[in-house]
């Protein structure tokens, strides 16, 4: 999945974002591991997968926040998962006006 995300960000390019720093932030989140030594998920890929589940299952923002809080506690120390729906939305909406 990370390869496709990288390709999408490359195709969209920094000019499609409101500010260049937003593009850089998304690229950093694409490269940042979900937790130290994690090779399967990045911060961005994990958040996108969780949002996909939220949408497919009709979860409320409140239930999604509760899930994020629990996952944040369960993951190893130093994990980069946001613990609030609002914070997760900010990660994926940078520059897209979502």
Question: If DSSP codes are grouped into helix, strand and coil, which group holds residue 44?
Answer: helix
Quickly state the pLDDT bin for 95 (edges 50, 70, 90).
Answer: very low
| Residue 80 forms part of a structural domain | yes
- Residue 28 falls inside a structural domain: yes
Number of domains in the chain: 1
> 74 in a domain, yes or no?
yes
Predicted confidence (pLDDT) per residue in 9-58, tens digit: 666 655 555 556 677 787 888 899 999 999 999 999 999 999 999 999 99
Q: How large is the C-alpha radius of gyration of the chain?
A: 13
Range of the domain at 8: 2-93
Helix (H) or strand (E) holding 73: helix 61-74
| Distance (Å) of CA 85 to CA 21, 28, 31, 40, 48 | 22, 20, 21, 22, 12
């Amino acid at each position: 999945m990370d390869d496709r995300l990288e390709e999408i960000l490359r195709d969209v390019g920094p000019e499609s974002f409101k500010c260049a720093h937003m593009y850089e932030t998304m690229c950093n989140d694409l490269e940042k591991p979900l937790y130290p030594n994690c090779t399967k998920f990045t911060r961005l890929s994990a958040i996108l997968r969780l949002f996909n589940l939220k949408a497919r299952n009709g979860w409320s923002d409140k239930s999604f926040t509760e899930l994020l809080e629990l996952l944040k506690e369960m993951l190893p120390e130093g994990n980069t998962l946001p613990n609030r729906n609002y914070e997760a939305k900010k990660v994926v909406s940078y520059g897209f006006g979502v």
